[in-house]
Structure 1
Amino acid sequence: MKPSEIINLGNGLEIHFCLDAADTNAQFTLFKCVIHPNAKVPAAHYHDNFDETLYGLKGSLTLSVDDQVVQLGPGDHYFIKRGRVHSFYNNTDETVEILAYANPGVFTSNYFKDILGIISAAGPPDMARLKEVMLQYGLVPVAN
């Protein structure tokens, strides 16, 4: 068993990749998200080529899916079918942890590595490049 690959985005969001597409013959990816209070989280988006299931491990995450807002706590789960616009945030004083399962395994740790490269560059992030990377990995940003 290999250890999780940890990608610290430096903005209150950590991604712990458990199983990447290469580990599962592209059947799924599995990763834990650690979301600190007031973390900068991805813009509202939808997935055009994979579904995502979230499972609460610690704390309470606010999840917005289409016009529905739900709280995801320990032991709770939520299935996000491709095409459904969603976003999430931690508006508590506690760290939140969730497990994310993406199926099929087309969404990989390289997405977060590419995002890290953009947000850690000098100056403000290149928003056009961020959008380009999101689209490359099947995430379609939606203006609020």
Structure 2
Amino acid sequence: MLSNFSADLRRLLLNLACTALFMASLFGLPSLSQAQTVGLPFPEYTPSPEPELIIGPPGEQFTFTRTGRNTGNTYTMAEALVPPGSGPLPHFHDNYDEWFYFPNGGITLFLDPDHTYSDLSKVPNGNAPGADIQLIETKPQSLYYVPRGHVHGFYNSTDHPVEMTFVWAPERITQYFRDTGESVTSFPSDFKVDATRLEPFVKDAPKYGINQSQYFMQYLHSISPASKATLAADDHLDDLKELLAAPLS
């Protein structure tokens, strides 16, 4: 049993290393689209007086400022620091949507705006078509919306931690981070990866409404720069403002 676990762990770590090299080569592309809506302040909201601090398996430092406990399960929200070389592999949520906000840019977001996978029984490149992801080099104060069922992810290809804000609606994902990450009362001064948590982060994802790929190209059919249509897509800002305006429950 221990030897099997060690072998699985080695494969996971190898996948992470290969992903880092692969993504680094992608981000050397000179033709990534640059036209984006920028300069958007994040909507005002009242944070929880008792935020939850969770370290994700790849080392992200999440501060959950709103969760289902104080939003009536309508949404959950986290501010985060993403360490260099970190970010989730391509995945999709079956029944909740997600907003990404980048205070300072610095993250490469990737998403497939065209294919929708209706539920977790649909596996891209398995029993469903592979995803055609588009790469977006995020800019300061930019907001992006990814509806449920669309493959997406992101990657910090810089050499420093990058700030992000996440909003998921409705609430379903917080327990995923509680169970696969580490709850803390304060963050360490550096970033740490808990390799023992990487396997459940992938394997247990369907329990929380997520199909999470095991390696970068598993779900993908193609990769291209973001089109003008993708960059101009509706960010559902009004919907986000309505969610955030609700008082703490």
TM-score range relative to shorter protein? 0.7 to 0.9
Structure 2 residue runs without a partner (length 5+): 1-47, 113-132, 183-192, 220-249
User: In the alignment, is the contact (CA less than 8 A) between 1:32 and 1:99 conserved in 2?
Assistant: yes
Structure 1 residue runs without a partner (length 5+): none
Q: Does 1:42 align with 2:117?
A: no
The higher radius of gyration belongs to: 2
Question: How many pairs align?
Answer: 138
Instruction: Specify which structure has the higher proportion of strand.
Output: 1
RMSD between aligned residues:
2.1
User: In the alignment, is the contact (CA less than 8 A) between 1:58 and 1:95 conserved in 2?
Assistant: no
Q: Alpha-carbon deviations, 1:69-108, whole Å to 9, x = none?
A: 0022321011001111011110012221111111112222
Q: Which of 201, 206, 210 matches 1:135?
A: 206
Corresponding residue SS for 2:204 = helix
CA distance in 2 between counterparts of 1:36 and 1:136 reads 26
Aligned pairs for 1:57-136 (under 5 A) are 57-66=103-112, 67-108=133-174, 110-116=175-181, 120=194, 124-125=196-197, 127=199, 129-136=200-207
Instruction: Specify which structure has the higher proportion of helix.
Output: 2
Aligned-residue identity in percent? 29
User: In the alignment, is the contact (CA less than 8 A) between 1:12 and 1:37 conserved in 2?
Assistant: no
Extract structure 1 runs of 4+ deviating beyond 4 A: 123-126
The TM-score with structure 2 as length reference comes to 0.50
- Note closer, same or farther for the CA distance 1:131–1:94 as it changes in structure 2 (3 Å cut): closer
Tell me the amino acid that sits aligned with residue 55 of structure 1.
Answer: Y
The equivalent residue for 2:74 is 27
